[in-house]
Amino acid sequence: MSTTEADITKRFAQHALQTCATFTDEYGMWPCEREAYATPNARTRPTTSLSHPSTDPLSRSVQSHALVRRLEDAGGPTLTRPATSGDSSSVAQLMAVEQDALSRPMMAEAQRPEWHAPWKLMRVISGHLGWVRCISVEPNNKWFATGASDRTIKIWDLASGTLKLTLTGHISSVRGLAVSPRHPYMFSCGEDKMVKCWDLEYNKVIRHYHGHLSGVYSLALHPMLDVLVTAGRDATARVWDMRTKECIHVLTGHQSTIADVKMQEADPQVLTASMDSTIRLWDLAAGKTMAVLTNHKKSVRSLALHPKQFTFASASADGIKQWKCPEGSLLQNLEGKRSIVNTLAVNPDGVLVSGGDDGSLCFWDWNTGYNFQTMDTIAQPGSLSSEAGIFSSTFDQTGLRLLTGEADKTIKIWKEDESATEDTHPMDWRPSLRRRKY
**Phi then psi for 406, rounded to 5 degrees?**
-130, 170
Say which residue, 25 or 263, is predicted with more confidence.
263
Quickly count: other Cβ atoms within 10 Å of residue 109's Cβ: 7
Q: Based on the domain organization, do 88 and 129 belong to the same domain?
A: no
Listed in sequence order, the residues at least 6 apart from 287 whose beta carbon sits closer than 8 Å to its beta carbon are 239, 248, 249, 250, 251
- Label the pairing between strands 163-168 and 341-346: unpaired
Which of residues 93 and 329 earns the better pLDDT score? Answer: 329
| Residue 383 pLDDT class (50, 70, 90 cuts) | confident
DSSP letter string, 245-285: --EEEEE---SS-EEEEEE-SSSS-EEEEETTS-EEEEETT
Q: Using pLDDT thresholds of 50, 70 and 90, give the confidence band for residue 386.
A: confident
Domain end (from 71, 103, 135)? 103
Q: Are 65 and 199 in a shared domain?
A: no
Lowest mean pLDDT among 26-30, 159-163, 268-272, 415-419: 26-30
- The tens digit of pLDDT for each residue in 307-328 reads 999 999 999 999 999 999 999 9
* 424 assigned to some structural domain: no
CB neighbours (10 Å) of residue 5?
10
Nearest to 437 by CA among 343, 336, 337, 335: 335
CA distance 198 to 185: 6
Residue 11, H or E segment = helix 3-23
Q: Is the pLDDT score of 384 beyond 50?
A: yes
pLDDT at position 104, please?
47
Say yes or no to pLDDT of 418 above 70.
Answer: yes
> Residue 273 above 60 pLDDT?
yes
Residue 354 has pLDDT above 70, yes or no: yes
Residues 6+ apart with CB under 8 A from 318: 296, 297, 298, 338
Q: Are residues 86 and 169 in the same domain?
A: no
Rounded Cα–Cα distance for residues 259 and 44 (Å): 69
Looking at the predicted structure, is the pLDDT value of residue 115 above 70? yes
Q: Are residues 143 and 75 in the same domain?
A: no
Cα distance between residue 209 and residue 241, in whole Å: 9
Q: Please give the pLDDT value at position 429.
A: 86
Q: Is residue 318 part of a domain?
A: yes
Maximum average pLDDT range among 7-21, 49-63, 333-347? 333-347
Assess whether pLDDT exceeds 90 at residue 176. Answer: yes
**Bridge partners for 231 per DSSP:** 218, 237
Considering 103, 127, 157, which residue would you say is the last residue of a domain? 103
Burial 46-68 (b: 16+ CB within 10 A, else e): bebeeebbbbebeebbbbbbebb
Least confident of 86-95, 154-163, 239-248: 86-95
% of the chain residues with pLDDT over 70: 74
Q: What is the mean pLDDT of residues 64-87?
A: 46
Q: Which domain holds residue 154?
A: 119-416
How far apart, in whole angstroms, are the C-alpha atoms of residue 113 and residue 370?
A: 7
| CA separation for the pair 153, 130 (Å, rounded) | 11
My answer on whether 188 and 93 are in the same domain is no
CATH number at residue 204: 2.130.10.10
372 pLDDT higher than 70: yes
The total number of structural domains in the chain stands at 2
Closest CA to 128 of 363, 412, 373: 412
Q: Are residues 262 and 166 in the same domain?
A: yes
Q: In the prediction, which pLDDT does 433 show? A: 61
pLDDT in tens, 94-114: 566 555 544 444 444 578 899
Query: Same domain, yes or no, for 129 and 96?
Result: no
Q: Say what the pLDDT of residue 67 is.
A: 45
* pLDDT for the residue numbered 77: 45
CB contact at 8 A, 214 and 256: no
User: 76-80, 269-273, 365-369: which range is least confident on average?
Assistant: 76-80
109 in a structural domain = no
Reply yes or no on whether the pLDDT at 258 is more than 70: yes
HEC states along 49-113? Answer: CCCCCCCCHHHHHHHHHHHHHHHHHCCCCCCCCCCCCCCHHHHHHHHHHHHHHHHCCCCCCCCCC
Q: Does residue 152 carry a pLDDT above 50?
A: yes
Question: Are residues 137 and 24 part of one domain?
Answer: no
Burial per residue of 282-316, b for 16 or more beta-carbon CB atoms within 10 angstroms, e otherwise = bbbeeeebbbebebbeebbbbbbbbeebebbbbbb
Specify if 431 maps to a domain. Answer: no
Work out the pLDDT band at 261, boundaries 50, 70, 90: very high
The residue among 103, 134, 162 that closes a domain is 103
pLDDT tens per residue across span 182-241: 999 999 999 999 999 999 999 999 999 999 999 999 999 999 999 999 999 999 999 999
> Which one has a higher pLDDT value, 194 or 3?
194
42-54 mean pLDDT: 40
Whether 45 is in a domain gets the answer: yes
Q: Is residue 112 part of a domain?
A: no
SS3 7: helix
Q: What do you get for the CA distance between the two ends of the chain, in Å? A: 24
124, 52: one domain: no
Same domain, 284 and 317: yes
Strand partners, 405: 392, 411
Residue 337 has pLDDT above 70, yes or no: yes
Q: Please report which confidence band the pLDDT of residue 54 belongs to, taking 50, 70 and 90 as the band edges.
A: very low
User: Residue 157 pLDDT more than 80?
Assistant: yes
Distance between CA atoms of residues 285 and 222, nearest Å: 13
